Structure 1
Amino acid sequence: MFADFLKRLTQPRPAPLTDSDARLALAALLVRVARADHDYAPEEKARIDRILMARYALAETDAAALRAEAETLESEAPDTVRFTKSIKEAVAYEDRLGVIEALWSVVLADGARDDHEDALLRMVANLLGINDRDSALARQRVAKPT
């Protein structure tokens, strides 16, 4: 299953993602960002589940199952560029801002920012067509105490 998905993503002109593939690609990107500091904390896993539940109206068990699939996909995926390219093509700019907010939310979930996470988020934001200012504002929005 994942080999076919990755093969589709790595084609020179990949077809637009289906809704389920877009969900999986976003979830895998969330996992990749969470793993960037080599400390995939329980808080980050829980935050990913909450993001998936809210974004896709999933039950807790369905969100956890999607995250588990994404963990496998992320570990097999060659690079971040293909995920972001597919998401960029499938998602409007305003919604991509929401993706950046979700990614920042995962980075900040464990209470520590890491240089690897920051660097990956800068690259991902750029690949998604989000400028540094909008990414910083997204980070500030999710960092505000609730």
Structure 2
Amino acid sequence: MIAALKKLLKQQLGEPGKLLSRQEAAAALLIEVVLADESLSGQEQTLLPGIIANLTGASAAEASELIQSAMARHEEAVSLFEYTDLINREFSLQDKQALILAMWQLAFADGELCQYEEQIIRKTADLLYLKHSELIQLRNQVSD
């Protein structure tokens, strides 16, 4: 009975020690934005590796791996908190702003802002304790 419970918990919680890195958390949030409208446009697909590489300092190959990992995590994600909690602990204010700016860039990449993309960005900014004025300022940098 106890062995069955341990097995169930292991399946639900995943492998022990498999913690998210700051790069994986950032990539996962970017993936949440591009998949918010349930499609990955050509423009988003083209921009995504470069944005992840610039934001995280990853090489092109590492950025590709981060995208694959984030896509897999997207299927099982239940909230943004697991990502934003790590980012709050490890990112500076400037890093958080750069992440939100990258999210806006991806949201506007296909020429139109989907309400679901905007909702995810707003929720993320809120969970990262960014001011509303900062959120709008970052959006205006991209939309102008």
Instruction: Tell me the TM-score range normalised by the shorter chain.
Output: 0.7 to 0.9
- How much does 1:38 deviate? 1.3
| Deviating 4+ runs (over 2 angstroms) | 2-8, 55-62
Percent same amino acid at aligned positions?
A: 25
What's the counterpart of residue 58 of structure 2?
58
Q: Structure 2: how far apart are the matches of 1:59 and 1:105? A: 20
Matches of 2:101 and 2:17, distance apart in 1: 25
CA distance in 2, matches of 1:135, 1:46: 24
- Tell me whether 1:142 sits opposite 2:121 in the alignment: no
In the TM superposition, 1:99-138 aligns within 5 A as: 99-138=99-138
Q: Distance in 2 between matches of 1:87 and 1:81?
A: 10
For structure 1, the residue ranges without an aligned partner over 5 or more in a row are 9-16
> Size of the alignment, in residue pairs?
132
CA-CA distance at 1:7 after TM superposition: 7.3
Q: RMSD in angstroms over aligned alpha carbons?
A: 2.1
Q: Who is 1:23 aligned against?
A: 23
Match of 1:37 in 2: 37
Q: TM-score, normalised by structure 1?
A: 0.80
Distance 1:7 1:59 in 2: 22
Unaligned runs of 5+ in 2: 1-12
Q: Structure 1 98/6 Cα, relative in aligned 2: closer, same or farther at 3 Å? A: farther
What is the Cα deviation at residue 45 of structure 1? 2.3
Question: What is the CA–CA distance in structure 2 between the aligned matches of 1:134 and 1:128, rounded to whole Å?
Answer: 11
One-letter amino acid of the counterpart of residue 59, structure 1 = S
